[in-house]
Amino acid sequence: MEEHVGQLWHRLITRAAQQRHPQAAVALDEVATPIGVFFRALGGDGGLQVQPAEATDYRGRRSLLQRVAGSQRKVRLAWRDEQALRLPPAIDWFDTPALNRDLYFWLAALAATPHDLTSHWVLRNQQLCRVALQRFPGLRPRYRRLLEAHLAQRPDPGRLPAAEAEQERLLQQALREPGAVGTFPTARREPWPVPLWLHPSPPLVAAATAADPGEGNNAHEGGQKELENEGRRRAERVDKPQEDRGLVTIRMENIFSWSEYVKVDRSTDDEEDLDQAADAARDMDTLSVSRDDKPARGRLKFDLDLPAEANDDSVLNDGLLLPEWDHRKGVLVPDHCRISLMSALDAVPIELPEHLRPTARRLRNQFSLLTPGRQWLRAQPDGSEIDLDAYLRYAGDRRAGIQAHADGLFRDLRQNRRDLSCLLMADLSLSTDTWIDNDMRVIDVIRDALFLFAETLSSVGDPFALYGFSSRKRDPVRVHQLKDFGSRYDGRTRARIQAIKPGYYTRMGAAIRYATRELERQATETKLLLLLTDGKPNDLDRYEGRYGIEDTRKAIIEARSQGLQPFCVTIDSRGNDYLPYLFGRRGYAVIHRPAQLPRTLPMLYSRLTGA
């Protein structure tokens, strides 16, 4: 009974203290795609993705009801960092969905304008507002609507202490006339949040505490669990705590309440359940990170799932060194990645799997029209037969006394060729071990797609090569040679395709650069580079987030400068968020039903080659 009454009281007091409008809320998921397009159209960084922002502490004045209810202790505001444009997961500041939706677009416009985080947040946001309204006059009616609605919500300066009242008056003046306020005083409490502006002090990037280049990253080589839709977390670097410290005294005034306590000092081998670690991380506003080279059971379990060296593909060479793009420094780092070319040399030749034969037969029939035919070439200097038309013209000119040359009197029957070559590079990272059906994994879908793609192109006669790739840091990047341009498609190639298995991670830029080198050697006019993947570029080291995206984009630009046509085929449902920045608006295709990939891939090839 007491618990039931407590729940009723909590709902009642929380509703009474609520100053938002949940009935008019607009979720970020509803507007993420148009917001991304709008942000980039206004000149925003194309490499940034739209992601949810986490709640941050609010230390301003709260009403009595809010203090009783324990609400309004955190606030979600927008900001932009190196990785993403971060917007609130939902906006319910206003009582109409139209205004809440307008606020999303206004915040995207502010974030599209370059700004300096070192300046005071009031001066910085005034400058952003002024520049946005000058560059995009069409936003002025939207801003006026938002401003009127927001000013009606702000506290009355007459009811605040002197210092806070002065802050409030200046803030309202800055909102009405961006740029009018040159200095901003301090007060004991923070001012009421300004949802029309970007975050005063964006959270620190947790990635800043990652391993420095060149240092060991053993702590990352094990099992991982991603906190989805949680935003970035504030982090701090601390010394590794001593596990056996004996009796530790605690100053009681440092313990605010039992509900705020979370066990954060945990050793590397006491957390078998990664779900429990994820729950603990969600409860912490600040993550304290320290270095620890001690292996954990989660990581050992992760590594044991990978192929042993005795059962792995054979290494074909000592490795090829390739550069990598460092977007922070703006330089191409030479000899940064090592490509290790591998192949299943002991693969026993096999036939096409039974379940693919009907589809392969149907595709071969459909593509039979693309098979180059034989054609008579006339007026040739030599050939298998006399060209009667050319000979009659020659004889008539001679009889009429016209000078004629006997250098094109033959015809020859020759085989036509489509002047193109294609290299398909398939992502064989560990994520391909994911199940997409009760009896099928991503790697199974990729394997079937490679089978049908090879069957189709071998029937057409176009030169093609098949490779797979995965990586474990920059050395080595494993490239599995399934079929090169110089070999036939036969039972041994099918055996290599059958032998593919999930590998490590996805260092996409290095794989594209290797494929570019192979395609450059082909003496064809059209060179198509197909990338088949299930996710974004990533690896154990700093090749994560923006770094991997920028390196991949640079590799694609390099490939295009060499006359290649890169095209990406992905089964990642979020591919539309980042692939336009990498491959361009028409340089990729998202397959929303992965099981359709094997039948769709040959048809995409037909479309790309203009057949």
3-class secondary structure per residue, 388-446: HHHHHHHHHHHHCCCCCCCCCCEEEEEECCCCEEEEEEEECCHHHHCEEECCEEHHHHH
From CA 454, how far away is CA 422, in angstroms rounded? 11
From CA 429, how far away is CA 533, in angstroms rounded? 9
* Coil, strand or helix at 86: strand
Find the distance separating the first CA and the last CA of the chain, reported in whole Å.
74
Tokens of 480: 């599995």
Q: Is 247 left (phi over 0), alpha (psi -120 to 50) or beta?
A: beta
Q: What is the mean pLDDT of residues 430-455?
A: 90
Quick one: what percent of the chain has pLDDT higher than 70? Answer: 74
Nearest Cα to Cα of residue 530 among 583, 596, 459, 477: 583
Range name among 279-293, 329-343, 366-380, 420-434 with the lowest pLDDT average? 279-293
- Tens of pLDDT, residues 272-316: 455 556 655 555 555 555 545 444 444 433 443 445 555 667 888
- Tens of pLDDT, residues 384-415: 788 888 878 888 888 888 877 777 888 876 65
Under 8 Å between Cβ of 471 and 539: yes
* Coil, strand or helix at 174: helix
Tokens of 229: 């839709």
Could you tell me which residues are beta bridge partners of residue 51? 86
From CA 529, how far away is CA 32, in angstroms rounded? 30
Helix (H) / strand (E) element for 332: namely strand 331-343
Given a cut of 70, whether residue 234 has pLDDT beyond it is no
Q: How far is CA 81 from the centre of its chain?
A: 16
DSSP string, 186-234: --SSBPPP-TTSB-SSPPPPGGGGSPPTTS--GGGSS-----TT----E
From CA 569, how far away is CA 1, in angstroms rounded? 58
Q: Where are the domains of the chain?
A: 2-176, 206-305, 314-367+418-608, 373-415
Tokens of 387: 């060209």
Calculate the dihedral angle through the C-alpha atoms of 546, 548, 549, 550, rounding to the nearest 10 degrees. Answer: 80
CATH 3.30.530.20 assigned to 314-367+418-608: no
Helix (H) / strand (E) element for 52: namely strand 49-52
From CA 599, how far away is CA 609, in angstroms rounded? 17
From CA 302, how far away is CA 224, in angstroms rounded? 9
Q: In this predicted structure, what is the pLDDT of residue 398?
A: 81
State the Cα angle at 342 between 299 and 452, rounded to 5°.
100
* Coil, strand or helix at 580: helix
From CA 17, how far away is CA 66, in angstroms rounded? 5
Residue 138 has phi, psi (to 5 degrees) of: -65, -15
- Tens of pLDDT, residues 150-159: 999 888 988 8
Nearest Cα to Cα of residue 462 among 424, 496, 427, 494: 424
Q: In this predicted structure, what is the pLDDT of residue 225?
A: 46
Residue 201: how many other CB atoms lie within 10 Å: 10
Q: In this predicted structure, what is the pLDDT of residue 409?
A: 81
Under 8 Å between Cβ of 520 and 200: no
Under 8 Å between Cβ of 500 and 360: no
* Coil, strand or helix at 448: helix
Is it true that the peptide bond before 476 is cis, omega within 30 degrees of 0? yes
Under 8 Å between Cβ of 77 and 231: no
Q: In this predicted structure, what is the pLDDT of residue 555?
A: 96
Q: In this predicted structure, what is the pLDDT of residue 328?
A: 87
Range name among 178-187, 297-306, 457-466, 506-515 with the lowest pLDDT average? 297-306
Q: In this predicted structure, what is the pLDDT of residue 215?
A: 38
Q: How far is CA 341 from the centre of its chain?
A: 26
Given a cut of 50, whether residue 60 has pLDDT beyond it is yes
Q: What is the mean pLDDT of residues 262-276?
A: 47
- Tens of pLDDT, residues 31-48: 998 998 899 899 888 888
Q: In this predicted structure, what is the pLDDT of residue 119?
A: 85
Max CA-CA distance within the chain? 121
Under 8 Å between Cβ of 340 and 477: yes
- In single-letter form, the type of residue at position 441 comes to R
Nearest Cα to Cα of residue 594 among 578, 575, 566, 610: 575
- In single-letter form, the type of residue at position 374 comes to R
Report pTM.
Answer: 0.69
Residue given tokens 């539309």 in the structure block: 576
From CA 230, how far away is CA 84, in angstroms rounded? 13
